[in-house]
Amino acid sequence: MRANYKVELASGIFLLLGIAALVWLATRATDYGQDIGKDTYTISARFSNIGDLRDRSPVKIGGVTVGLVESIELDTVSFEAIVNMSIARQFNEIPTDTGASILTSGVLGDRYVGLEPGGAPDFLADGDELFITQSALVLEQVIGKYLFNAGDGNKSQDKESE
Amino acid sequence: MANGNPTLPALLGPVQSAGQCLLFLLRMLAGIRPRLDLIQSTLQQTYLIGARSLVIIMICGFFVGMVLSLQAINALEQFGASDQVSLLVGKSLFRELGPVLTALLFAGRAGTSITAEIGLMRATSQIDAMQLMAIDPVQRVALPRFLAGLISVPLLTAMFNALAILGSVIFAVGVAGLDGGIFWTKLQTGVYFGKDFIGGVWKSLVFGGIVSLIAVYFGYTSKPTGAGVGTATTNTVVLSSVLILIFDFILTSFFV
């Protein structure tokens, strides 16, 4: 039994090491635990174009992550994208007239939702909707518009302002 | 089986062995009981084939991580995107390289030794002796080794990945001079727990099952001669390597 004891100890150490490696990898090298915690409230916003925003994209105020995109759905009547975001409860003093825009981190970076706090005295609560929104800048459209404007002079600018 | 048409048996041969292999697996699984001696012998085999493979897995993982980040930095530098190196290393490791390379190494390091050991037991009539003593050799010899392989491969894959990440950090941050904070942040925001990490764990579990089943089966069915054991060992390595790569494609395209 003495010889077996050593073997069993060694295999026990092996099992522990393996599980420790699994846990270390999961928590340190993946997005596990990057959550914003369980204590959140949900707000939504409508955009005409969300670009390539995805579930779990960050929601930021002034560059600091305050929440995550929880789900994205399409309004089947108005064909707008409804983005539901969960915001950590500790940021519960965001004014109701806050604007939301879809931005890109860096030139080729990931999309995120940027919140621009307004000055209203009331704060957003669970289930509220943001009304001031700005859609994602789609590079092809921007270039297309630029070319169109350059060729067409003032006429297209009138169209823009409509 | 050999009737009239000579090509038919040649075609049916592999199908028949696949069926035999499946029946062998069912026969093993049918005998799983939470008995103390099964747990003990599984632990012992986990030590022999798992813990003893640890060093080679760790060394290989470390150098795979280093060379991955070396190549990735070379390629990404052209776009000024060498900050993304940890994302590339992490994703390719968790999804593909970790499970596949670990399973291939495991087939070479442990699969062969399982086949040779059981084959030699067959050649020296130890298996026949067990049957004479009314001990089921499938339960006694094959099952603990199969279970130990099934447990070991995912854990070894985790060690492989951990050391590869470590090697990648050492190269990218220490040698190439990238920023350590960016390295970890990219890893923690870009590599997904559900898709990349858990997908890789499932893969390694399947690979562990494939390699151990093949090793045990070929050992058990090897011809009781020196040459027979040699052939069985070769077959183990060849077939498990091929099956790992085939199943890697199947699993990736349908499940992960």
Closest CB to B50: pick one of A14, A31, A32.
Answer: A14
Residue A147 lies in a domain: no
Instruction: Say how far apart CA A133 and CA A55 lie, in whole Å.
Output: 18
Domain of A1, in residue numbers: 1-34
Which whole number is the average pLDDT over B60-66?
95
Say how many domains are in chain A. Answer: 2
- Per-residue pLDDT tens digits for B87-126: 899 999 999 999 999 999 999 999 999 999 999 999 999 9
pLDDT one digit per residue (tens) for chain A, 162 residues = 455 777 778 888 888 888 888 888 888 877 776 666 778 889 999 998 888 888 878 888 988 888 888 889 999 999 999 999 988 888 888 898 889 998 887 766 778 899 988 888 888 888 888 888 888 887 788 888 888 887 665 554 555 444
Whose CA is closest to A68, among A42, A33, A104?
Answer: A42
Kindly state whether residue A153 falls inside one of the protein's structural domains.
no
Contact between A21 and B54 using a beta-carbon 8 Å cutoff:
no
Query: Looking at beta carbons, which residues of chain A come within 8 Å of B50?
Result: 11, 14, 18
The pLDDT score that the predictor gives to residue B1 is: 45
Range of the domain at B99: 36-254
In a domain, B25, yes or no: no
State how many domains chain B has. Answer: 1
DSSP B2: -
Do residue A67 and residue A81 come from a single domain?
A: yes
pLDDT of residue B2: 46
Of residues B13 and A36, more confidently modeled: B13
Q: Do A18 and B43 touch (CB under 8 A)?
A: no
Could you tell me if A87 and A101 lie in one domain?
Answer: yes
Whether residues A19 and B155 touch (CB distance < 8 A) is answered with yes
In a domain, A89, yes or no: yes
B60 closest CA partner among B111, B107, B105: B105
Same domain, A45 and A110: yes
CB contact under 8 A, A11 and B44: yes
* Angle between helical axes of A2-28 and B143-169 (0-180°, round to 10): 50
At residue A18's C-alpha, the angle toward residues B210 and B94, to 5°, is 65
Q: How confident is the model at residue B213 (pLDDT cuts 50, 70, 90)?
A: very high
User: Is A160 part of any domain?
Assistant: no
Q: Name the residue among B54, B193, B201 with its Cβ closest to that of A32.
A: B193
State whether A27 and A91 are in the same domain.
no
Rounded to the nearest 10°, the torsion over CA A70, A71, A75, A76 is -160
pTM, entire model: 0.76
Neighbours of A83 (CB within 10 A): 25
Residues A29 and A108 in one domain: no
Is a pLDDT exceeding 60 seen at residue B183? yes
